[in-house]
Amino acid sequence: MTTTVVIGGSFAGMTAALEIKRKGKAQHNVVLIDKSPLFLFIPSLIWIPFKRREMKDISFKKENILKKKGVNFIHAEALRVDPNTQVVSTDKGDFKYDNLVIATGPKVKYDVAPGVETYTHYIGTPNGAMKIRKALEEFKKNPGPIVIGATQNAGCMGAAYEFLFNVEKWLREQNIRKKVDLYWITPEDYLGHFGIDGMPLAESMLKGFMKIFNIHYRTQVGVKEVKENKIILSTDEELPFKFSMLMPPFIGVDFVTNSTDLHATPTGYINVGEDYRHVEYPNIWAAGIAVNVVLPFTPKSVPFGTPKTGYPSDETGKIVAENIIRVSKGKTDLKKKAWGKIMGLCIMDCGKKEVIIFSDHLFKPRNFAIMIPNVFYDFSKVILEKYFIWKSKHGYSYLP
């Protein structure tokens, strides 16, 4: 029997573990190790501050689903791996493997600039989303300027855009919009770059949104320092604020950086081929955010990264699972699909409005790419959420 250990239980890890077991059946022992007992649908965190969702609506315990599908779940924190002895060390013991899948997700680099962690908020965690809910309740008692955006080296601009437009809608609902100067700051070369070198009409569409909603914006800027009531940009411009949410950069988790023999990048990502196999160790694989993605573009002035969203994470999890099964059967023809050639599929919520973003490839060149605005309601975003949570709760990893 072949034993595969999967580190991480979010989009990529859950998918990889379930698919390896589904395809490998009794010949494959699959162990998933994760420090969180819950699966969280991260894209819906943007709705938590506005009480449109509660945490229980977008999370569930994963152990029973995994057990039902034949995957062993270990609730533990993975500390390091020794690729030579093929042993993963955790805070609950060591685990020997034949194949290792690293799907660990990111660590947030809050210290990207002085004061970012102290004076601004972050929407990307349950704790951060709940803190924002509380902060906005206080803010509406004494409103003032708001600054929302992303710092230098950030890659998840989409979620920040979504939060921006949801805040703008919330301000109108609270009847305090006229009291608030709303600012958007981003390292992107232009509005709607998204870390994928843009989409047709993206820049003009977002410029239109900024004008309609009276949002001031700055592109090609980083954050030099954040003080208690102002953000100092890389251009030395100072923006005052009463509330701020910034997306910092992601870096590799401690499990990766502590495992020195993995020879990860300086930012803690795993170097793999287009088959998501480690470039040095043929029995180690990576999926999702843990993958090192080489940018096909060079930022003009301020560095930023590319998004690693749920869809490509899910897709790379499937590719890794398929390739592990092929290798176990003695096959050498592995499935390959570079990160940039994965289909682009995203629905950007714009405050009970939405923009559907679809392309045949994440990166250029593309044969097909389109952005479709829906100014009436964000039903596509809601449908996608309901579908993915339903799919995940039932362990239907093979579905798109």
Asked if residue 146 has pLDDT above 90, the reply is yes
Q: How many CB atoms lie within 10 A of CB 141?
A: 7
Asked if residue 352 has pLDDT above 90, the reply is no
Taken in order of first residue, the domains within the chain and their CATH numbers are 2-107+250-339 (3.50.50.60), 108-249 (3.50.50.60)
Asked if residue 309 has pLDDT above 90, the reply is no
Asked if residue 257 has pLDDT above 90, the reply is yes
- Give the C-alpha separation, 343 to 341, whole Å: 6
Average pLDDT score, the chain: 96
At 280, the amino acid letter reads E
The residue-averaged pLDDT of 386-396 equals 96
Distances (CA, A) of 11 to 1, 142, 185, 336: 26, 39, 29, 19
Asked if residue 310 has pLDDT above 90, the reply is no
240-252 burial, b at 16+ Cβ within 10 Å, e below that, comes to ebbbbbbbbbbbb
Asked if residue 328 has pLDDT above 90, the reply is yes
Give pLDDT tens digits for 5-26.
Answer: 999 999 999 999 999 999 999 9
H helices of 225-340, in order, are 254-258, 310-328
The residue-averaged pLDDT of 301-326 equals 95
Residue ranges with strand state E in 47-132? 59-61, 72-75, 78-82, 87-90, 93-96, 99-102, 106-108
- Give the C-alpha separation, 238 to 120, whole Å: 15
Asked if residue 375 has pLDDT above 90, the reply is no
- pLDDT band for 377, please (50, 70, 90 cuts): confident
